[in-house]
Structure 1
């Protein structure tokens, strides 16, 4: 599943609409749908703070979130460069680490990424740990 600029027309609401969400009060995710803002790892000179409205923007006016861990999205230039929204998943080699790892990944991810993460986790569990049932592992991680 990959989203770029073409995703926004299907989701007119802001990405984050829950007042208790970890996203900052001034985060562009509270005003824009996925694909209509970029996500940087941290503040940089490329996305200066605008004191007039309290937001960060690129020179072209693209809004920027600088806390990917709070919005649950990977770093990417989704609006400014039409980067696809995809997520990497690297399961730990030790089977005893799977449930806690997947718990953290799944609970920290943006809801729009959950289907892709579950599909990738299922495939990787089958490939890397053929003796484990992916559904059982995922149920434990989500339980």
Structure 2
């Protein structure tokens, strides 16, 4: 898909529009392809479901594909959290299993971007928000390095 020509992508989009019943493919007179190297996540009501749908589909097709960082996970998280996802993914790859759930990185945090900045509740949430760092899962009787 990524290396497809503009012409092939327009043809694909035309077929998909027809499959969805949105238009007669014979009525499509042209198309344009915009190649966006990086995209900014939009946190709307469907954000979590959309990310999960893409994640599930890609993980089911490509077992060794790993999503890391802001762009890979389509998340606007802090740089330290983005780097943590990469480090934990490297550990997962080295161990041959997904021992660390990188999607849990930054799930516990609350930020002023949540919409309560400036009011007492927002300040309290920011001051009490705990930043948890994932730890290695250890087999019984073994110490984590």
- State TM-score, norm by structure 1: 0.29
- State TM-score, norm by structure 2: 0.28
Highest RCO, 1 vs 2 (Cα 8 Å, sep ≥ 6) = 1
Q: Which has the higher helix share?
A: 2
Q: Which has the higher strand share?
A: 1
Specify the structure having the higher radius of gyration (Cα): 2
